Every structure is written in C-alpha cells, then in structure tokens.
Amino acid sequence: MQVRILGCSGGIGAGLKTTSILLDDDLLIDAGTGVGDLSLEELRGLRHVFLTHSHLDHVVGLPLFIDAAFEAYLENPLQVHASQATIDALRAHLFNDVIWPDFSILPSAADAVMHFEPLADGDVLEINSRQIRAVAVKHAVPTLGYCVQAGGKVLAFSGDTTNNQTLWPALNAYENVDVLVIEVSFPNRQAELAEKSGHYCPRTFAQDLAKLKHYPAIWLTAMKPGEEELIMDEVRAELPDRTVRRLESGVVFYL
C-alpha cells in the first residue's frame, strides 16, 4: 500500500496544506486543501473518501474536487464514508445549494455523482485488499480515526483528538501497528486551549501514548502554523525513548 501525504498542517500558509492522505490511487482519508495537489487525472481516479469529521480543514476540498471530476463520477459515483453526524453536517452546511450544490442528488437523486455511506465506531470495510476500521475518538465534534490494514501491515490515523479511552484499546487489539499518524496541534503553553478545542498538546499526547503497547513509527500532524518546531521539541522532551517525526506534505511511504 502506498501512502502519500497531500496535506497535514493545522492551517494554511506558504507551502502548508490541510489534512488529506492518499492511499494507493483510489482512496482518500480526509479532503483538506492538500487534495489540490492531485492532477485532474488523479482526481478522476478517486473512488472512496473516508472523512474523520466535519471541520472545514478536513472537508474543504471535497466539493471542489468532485466538481472538477464531475463527469468521471457519472458512471462510478464517489463513495464518501463518514459518521452519520458528519454526513448530516455536510448536508446542512456545505452541500446545501447555498454554499455549494448538493452532489448527492446531482445530476439526479437516482444517478448522483456522490454517495454518502454512514460509518459507526467499530465498522470495518474491505476495499481492494485494504481493511479499514473506524474508531471513535474525542474531539469538539463527532470524529472517527481510521486503522488501515493491508498486506499484514497497519497504518493508524487518529484524526483530530485529545485524551481519550477509545483509540488506544483499538490499536492494542492489533498484533502490531507499523505507522501511527497522530495530531498534536498546540504547544504546551496552550494546553488549556488544546483541551477546550479537543486537541492534543505534547504533554497530553505523551500521557495517552503510554497506553499503547506497540512501538510504531510515529508521525505528528495538524500542528498549528509557526509552532511546528516548538511542538516537535516539546514532544521529544516528553518522549525521549520514542522516535517521533514531523509529517510533511509530499512524504510518500509504503506498507
């Protein structure tokens, strides 16, 4: 399985793009601004999108790329997998014919280019030899993380979250976790803001990581622009025995 990081920042700025991860050439996890790096041909090849939650930095690219690749989805509709709460939010606030046309009924309700597929905590889908498990996590709005298993390897993506009791048991249930992509959005000085907004800071992330029995490669994502170096320094100080790297747009790895 090829994993290509299109976007992984907690905001935008020169060279910074928000969350979107491409698995092989047909499946996205989240559709932030990073999805704009795909060519039109690559956009037309997408078949599945797994959304973690409804916040704009994770969904803003979805209506735009469906519009760009509209004709490619006439015969093969895009499958958008998300919690029912996320689907309801997208219908009410994004695909509402005010902010953007409702692609779930275009060109007609019977032949729409986008299909919403509800997911719940613990649901498992198998798509092209990849097994994708949804895991509820704690954030400001209902949020799912995802564990993707392929060829005996496991990639875990937390989505946006803070201290929780759900992600870690799900990860520990696997024989091994090879890669953990996890958010740490704020530095320790903003711990109160991180807690109120449902995000990790280095201290709270270190507290939760102690619950994990595996030793995966750890990549940090969703850091606030301008705070990346400080967050990395603080995480490494909290976790001197762990190898932790900063995720960046353009990174490609294989599992």
Percent of the chain with pLDDT over 90: 100
CATH number reported for the structural domain that contains residue 164 in this entry: 3.60.15.10
Q: Render pLDDT for 133-149 as a digit per residue (tens, 0 to 9).
A: 999 999 999 999 999 99
Q: Render pLDDT for 54-92 as a digit per residue (tens, 0 to 9).
A: 999 999 999 999 999 999 999 999 999 999 999 999 999
Q: Are the C-beta atoms of residues 146 and 179 closer than 8 Å to each other?
A: no
User: Cα separation of 224 and 168, whole Å?
Assistant: 24
- The domain total for the chain is 1
Average pLDDT for 152-177: 98
Q: Provide the domain limits for residue 45.
A: 2-254
Residue 43 has pLDDT above 90, yes or no: yes
pLDDT for residue 14: 87
pLDDT for residue 103: 98
Q: Are the C-beta atoms of residues 51 and 58 closer than 8 Å to each other?
A: yes
User: Cα separation of 191 and 35, whole Å?
Assistant: 30
Percent of the chain with pLDDT over 70: 100
Question: Model-level pTM greater than 0.95?
Answer: yes
Which residues touch 83 (CB under 8 Å, ≥6 apart)? 53, 118, 119, 120, 134, 142, 143, 144
Average pLDDT for 14-23: 96
| Model confidence band, residue 35 (pLDDT cutoffs 50, 70, 90) | very high
Strands 252-254 and 2-7: antiparallel
Q: Render pLDDT for 199-248 as a digit per residue (tens, 0 to 9).
A: 999 999 999 999 999 999 999 999 999 999 999 999 999 999 999 999 99
| Mean pLDDT for the chain overall | 97
Q: Render pLDDT for 122-132 as a digit per residue (tens, 0 to 9).
A: 999 999 999 99
Average pLDDT for 24-44: 98
pLDDT for residue 44: 97
